[in-house]
């Protein structure tokens, strides 16, 4: 099972922003889209950062309401290590757990092709385990 399997189920659409987008505008976009993170791309479309809900809370805690006027580049997670489509789901889940990352951009070569959240990974793993369980029960019932 690979990250490509998750993207095939959930889709590959990713909401992005530029590094000069004000934090408040990014927060409004995240709320409107009902998402927990934005991928930050430079003018050529290269992945340069990620901003998540936790980063916004940290920005306000550090700099108060003035943080909301600052660009995403001031608070984003710079150069987040991406996953690749061929990465095993289990390995990505381990990275997310160890590094306490809830969102990981997915790239093919240098192009952004998706975003996976810890919720996507857990949902996929639960479905796979349930399918395996059902198959085992059917196998046992036929024996």
Evaluate whether 23 touches 71 at the Cβ level (below 8 Å). yes
CATH at 131: 3.10.580.10
CA atoms of 138 and 118, how far apart (whole Å): 30
Count of domains forming the chain: 1
pLDDT of the residue at 138 = 86
Q: pTM for this structure?
A: 0.85
Looking at residue 139, its pLDDT comes to 85
Which range marks the domain in which residue 37 is found? 3-142
Q: What are the 10-residue block averages of pLDDT along the chain, 143 residues in total?
A: 93 96 98 97 94 97 97 96 95 92 93 94 89 87 81
The answer to whether 90 and 128 are in contact (CB under 8 A) is no
Per-residue pLDDT at 37? 97
Report pLDDT for 10.
Answer: 92
To the nearest 10 degrees (0 to 180), the angle between helices 53-63 and 23-33 is: 150
């Amino acid at each position: 099972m690979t990250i490509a399997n998750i993207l095939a189920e959930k889709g590959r659409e990713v909401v992005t922003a530029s590094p000069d987008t004000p934090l408040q505008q990014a927060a409004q976009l995240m709320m409107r889209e009902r998402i927990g993170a934005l991928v930050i791309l430079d003018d050529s479309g290269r992945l340069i950062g990620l901003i998540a809900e936790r980063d916004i809370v940290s920005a306000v805690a550090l700099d108060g309401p003035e943080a909301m006027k600052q660009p995403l580049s001031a608070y984003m997670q710079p150069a987040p290590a991406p996953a690749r489509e061929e990465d095993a789901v289990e390995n990505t889940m381990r990275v997310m757990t160890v590094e306490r990352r809830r969102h990981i951009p997915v790239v093919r070569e240098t192009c952004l092709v998706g975003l996976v959240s810890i919720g996507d990974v857990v949902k996929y793993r639960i479905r796979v385990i349930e399918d395996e369980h059902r198959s085992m029960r059917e196998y046992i019932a036929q024996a």
